[in-house]
Chain A
């Protein structure tokens, strides 16, 4: 499974990586640190020429260059990418941010728990839910094939 983490805070990247490590699901974590890089990754441009088609995107909102809402809007406007589950993972508790994200068809919105334990727990739950529990659409596979070929 390919996970794309869009997160500019290396601390959070480290914590996420730690949390995922404790899980059982085999995965490959791809990290980009801003919105433009995320789009390059999706389009296999530049240094991301060989980027894989992600099965899950973890998206922070507070991003340099292109913010999380814009990245979300672009991916959800794409005919194939729009099927990729996107989880917004952010420190923002603002209702306006939540409403805006769902208006752009985000699959779920999670506020980063400030407490370390809670954070670890939340990441684990995301992992088990999206990578293990749910059944993803078949088109994902073909899309991935197209993307890789």
Chain B
């Protein structure tokens, strides 16, 4: 059997350089053997096998007249050849030979019976003939091998080159056929070689043919370009010049490899190595080797491709992939990538979290494990969907499904799908969002809506909710009752179907107005409208509108109340009112007459009466007002105060009027008013709020005020004069004392020093002078005391009981001498100065003692009675009394009623008493019966 039989054919792998990344660049389809090629390859083998089998069978038949089984053994032999196993081929070939020899006794006779016989000679002959035949066939095949196989091998070389061009393949095909057809034609062969060289040069990859020693025997223009050498520079060079490592090693058998193994290694695709240019720069290459055994030995053809661009692309791809993975992981949603079979091929960390698995657990799992329904179904085409429809369905947003966690709990999700068609088929990326929170919110808002609905239903009034266009959006049960429509009959209808306004146009108009001015209008102050029932009847209603500013636009809720009953009641009241009014008007007529009288009275009143309207117009003025003002009645009536009295706004009068007008409170005031002509009048005003506005009563108090101020000036003058007088009296009395003292002192000095030189008469004169001086001194002292009354610097609570006890002790001597009885009633505490009170009481008691009667025992009684605003004091005596005509003058200073020979004193005691009482704001007077006694009365203010 030919040793190298299978070698060209043991490379059935279809050398596919399917560049996944740049398919577009190289559609490099390496030879997929065409049927023609295959038949060409297998033809010699099949021919030899079939021929041998038929021959063996015929020999067997002729020699033993039986159908020997050995013929059948060639069949497995053929099969083994087909199986391309050289070892098996040999084993089976030997086995067949042995079996044929050993089992020669076994056979089926022509009648089908198994027959044991000795066929040793026959079989030996058979085997010999078999080998001879095989050898013959082999020789036959060898004869044409030189030309044919060369051609075939060339073709195989080009096989590797012409992969991308079908036309080329066909050309090769036909060339192959041509070659087989005209096997002996050398000229054709040369022509072929030129062709193939052309093909070699046209190859897009660098092609280098190397012999077993690693010498470069052939190269194409691409190789020149890639390595930067000229052709003649490379030819004959060792291949390590351009490919330092990984190529030459494959060519030779060394201690590590047998020759066969080295040969086997020649074969190879996608060997990635580093190549070296002439300029020393390196670049990555992908190399394909195919050995070619020819008469010169084994030649290896290397197709070399510069893959530096692809490398970069791959690196870029890896970079991109890591970026996309980063994006995937950073996505806020759970991301799951699922293939067409529904298996999870990729997921991110969010997906781990959401579903409670770790990544490894989920990868490769069915997507139904995490999303039981609604996802997997979308991935596949089934009887309901075409593949295109299924693909279309992959797209989708807002798919709401239920997801399942590892712990078995479920949660609502929203899923977005996007399909991605790639080489592995369709991958679907699912972005999954946990919407349990949103769902809960939705649930809550549904509850709220439900509550709102119930609230709406439970409202006592009919409620209709309309949108801005006046279309009914909601209505409650009350609305059904009131309007007689079923709910569904109202919804979507314009609100004017139910409500029309006889006052403000259509309700829709009103709604539009409300839209512009969305204020709440309360029921009480609502709009009265006309309601229309389904049966066409109309009824009055009152509506309260309130805007609801919602996210999806403005709604207006209209609460409607049937006010038929109220209207009826109102009408009743109106009727009643009308009756009343009639009565009132009749009565008014009667009253008008009296009012006329009243008006007349007002007109002639001395006090000014005027009525001012809310707009400050004079509505009524009487004669007195006209007289007080500088205008005629016609100039006032119908004109405003503001117009009549420019600048009145600044006057205190107007401020008071405005306040009264606003607060509706009566006010009384005195004010000076300046008229436009400059005259000033003082008014006493009483301002009353009345239905028409204000009623002002005015009195001209200018004269009174002037009089009052005159009195005040006079009083002031008097007071000043009084003060001056007091001052004068004090100074005069003080200064009078000095010369008086000189007079008395020197008269007495005279009396003392010259008594022995003066006679009786002189001494008497001196005595008169001294006595006069003494009395004058007393007068001056009293006058001084009198003038100083009321100047007390300290006032306080004075207990009069204590004061009168002081009087008693001060006058003890005189009282004892006159045998007088002084009785004292209960006396109050007053606010005064104790000195002045002492002067008051002591003077009165002294006075009583002084004017006593000698025939009766003097009795003096001091008492006090409480009256409304003051204390009423009495000092009673049973003395000589005072005649009525003198009752007033007794209080005049230094006025004496009696001769001084009988009654001593300066006559200032009662004057002092009077002054003390007067400066305390009290009153003093006398009641007396001449000859029987005197009572001095005075009052002091209560504390």
Contacts and interface: CB of A to CB of B under 8 A. Distances in A.
B749 A18 contact: yes
A15 B738 contact: no
A112 B748 CA distance: 16
The bracket for how many chain B residues form the interface is 10 to 19
B745 A119 contact: yes
A107 interface: no
A76 B748 CA distance: 37
Interface string B353-387: 00000000000000000000000000000000000
Contacts of A115: 744
Interface in B733-766: 734, 737-738, 740-742, 744-749, 752
A11 B737 contact: no
Nearest to B747: A116
Contacts of B741: 11, 91, 112, 114
A116 B737 contact: no
A115 B770 CA distance: 10
A9 B739 CA distance: 10
B749 A114 contact: no
A117 interface: yes
Nearest to A115: B744
Interface string B711-746: 000000000000000000000001001101110111
A116 B740 CA distance: 11
B777 interface: yes
Interface size class of A (residues with CB under 8 A): 10 to 19
Contacts of B742: 9, 11
A46 to B, nearest CB: 29
Interface string A18-49: 10000000000000000000000000000000
Most buried by A among B737, B738, B741, B752: B741
Nearest to B746: A11
A77 B737 CA distance: 33
Contacts of A15: 745-746, 749
Given A114-B777, A116-B744, A91 B738 contact: yes
Interface in B297-312: none
Interface in A92-149: 112, 114-117, 119
B863 to A, nearest CB: 34
Contacts of B749: 15, 18, 116
A114 B738 CA distance: 9
A62 B741 CA distance: 16
B745 A9 contact: no
A116 B746 CA distance: 8
Most chain B C-beta atoms within 10 Å of own C-beta, residue among A18, A112, A114, A115:
A114
Contacts of A11: 741-742, 745-746
A121 to B, nearest CB: 12
Contacts of B734: 91
B654 to A, nearest CB: 55
Most chain B CB within a 10 A radius of its CB, from A112, A116, A117, A119: A116
Contact of A9 (B738, B740, B752): B738
A115 B747 CA distance: 11
A91 B777 CA distance: 13
A11 B744 CA distance: 11
Contacts of B737: 91, 114
Interface in B772-820: 777
Contacts of A117: 748
Interface in B620-634: none
B746 A114 contact: no
A115 B748 CA distance: 9
Contacts of B745: 11, 15, 116, 119
A88 B752 CA distance: 27
Most interface-central of B734, B740, B777 (chain A CB within 10 A):
B734
Nearest to A9: B738
B768 to A, nearest CB: 16
B763 to A, nearest CB: 16
Contacts of B752: 116
Contacts of B747: 116
A116 B744 CA distance: 7
Nearest to B751: A116
B781 to A, nearest CB: 9
B533 to A, nearest CB: 104
Nearest to B748: A116
Contacts of A119: 745
A106 B742 CA distance: 26
Nearest to B770: A116
Contacts of B740: 114
Nearest to B784: A93
Nearest to A113: B741
Contacts of A116: 744-749, 752
Interface in A48-96: 91
Contacts of B744: 114-116
A134 B742 CA distance: 31
Nearest to A10: B742
Contacts of B746: 11, 15, 116
Nearest to A18: B749
A138 B747 CA distance: 43
A112 B734 CA distance: 13
A147 to B, nearest CB: 34
A91 B737 CA distance: 9
B753 to A, nearest CB: 9
A18 B777 CA distance: 23
Contacts of A114: 737, 740-741, 744, 777
A103 B831 CA distance: 31
A114 B733 CA distance: 13
A149 to B, nearest CB: 41
Nearest to B777: A114
A11 B734 CA distance: 16
A72 B741 CA distance: 25
B818 to A, nearest CB: 27
A119 B777 CA distance: 15
A114 B770 CA distance: 12
Contacts of A9: 738, 742
B770 to A, nearest CB: 9
Contacts of B748: 116-117
B743 to A, nearest CB: 9
Contacts of A18: 749
Interface in B278-337: none
A15 B752 CA distance: 13
B774 to A, nearest CB: 9
A100 B746 CA distance: 31
A91 B736 CA distance: 12
A114 B773 CA distance: 11
A119 B738 CA distance: 13
Nearest to A96: B793
A40 B777 CA distance: 37
Nearest to A15: B745
A119 B749 CA distance: 11
A119 B745 CA distance: 8
A74 to B, nearest CB: 26
Nearest to A112: B741
A81 B843 CA distance: 48
A37 B749 CA distance: 29
Contacts of A112: 741
Closest 8 CB pairs of A and B: A116-B748, A116-B745, A11-B742, A114-B741, A15-B745, A116-B744, A116-B749, A114-B777
Interface of A: 9, 11, 15, 18, 91, 112, 114-117, 119
Given A9-B738, A15-B749, A114-B777, 17 more contacts: A9-B742, A11-B741, A11-B742, A11-B746, A15-B745, A18-B749, A91-B734, A91-B737, A91-B738, A91-B741, A114-B737, A114-B740, A114-B744, A115-B744, A116-B745, A116-B747, A116-B752
16 contacts: A9-B738, A11-B746, A18-B749, A91-B734, A91-B738, A91-B741, A112-B741, A114-B741, A114-B777, A116-B744, A116-B745, A116-B746, A116-B747, A116-B748, A116-B749, A116-B752
Interface of B: 734, 737-738, 740-742, 744-749, 752, 777
